[in-house]
Amino acid sequence: GIQVEQSPPDLILQEGANSTLRCNFSDSVNNLQWFHQNPWGQLINLFYIPSGTKQNGRLSATTVATERYSLLYISSSQTTDSGVYFCAVPRRAGTASKLTFGTGTRLQVTL
């Protein structure tokens, strides 16, 4: 099956710093999702980004499908950005999609 790798595995930032998280995948994909898992465990949708660049406030994401990677940018980080960031790519399961998740980047933002 498809392999999804994320880097770095852990990241500590001071509040206000910028960061880039990377997601590499081993096969071609037709879409990709980024999630933020908060300390209570909930997975929050950040981006659905099969290709190109999207921005949402301080976050933006870029997927270069031909080169099999996606980047998540966090600017002016805040303590509320702490948690684990996952990328995930879909594979078909019958008529549904099943997501294969990367191993995640654990981000801690300190004061």
Partner 1 sequence: ETGVTQTPRHLVMGMTNKKSLKCEQHLGHNAMYWYKQSAKKPLELMFVYSLEERVENNSVPSRFSPECPNSSHLFLHLHTLQPEDSALYLCASSQLPFLGQGNTGELFFGEGSRLTVL
Residue 93 or residue 111: which is nearer to partner 1 going by CB?
Answer: 93
Amino acid present at 20: T
Q: How far is the CB of 76 from partner 1 (least distance, A)?
A: 25
> Cα–Cα distance between 108 and 83 in angstroms, integer?
7
Q: Does 35 sit near partner 1 (CB under 8 A)?
A: yes
Nearest residue to 109 (alpha-carbon basis) of 17, 34, 46: 17
Is the CB of residue 78 less than 8 Å from the CB of residue 109?
yes
Q: Does 102 sit near partner 1 (CB under 8 A)?
A: yes
Is the CB of residue 19 less than 8 Å from the CB of residue 107?
yes
Residue 66 phi/psi, 5-degree rounding, is -65, -25
Q: How far is the CB of 43 from partner 1 (least distance, A)?
A: 4
Q: Does 25 sit near partner 1 (CB under 8 A)?
A: no
Residue 33 or residue 77: which is nearer to partner 1 going by CB?
Answer: 33
Residues at the contact surface with partner 1, assessed by CB under 8 A: 31, 33, 35, 40-45, 48, 86, 88, 90, 92-104
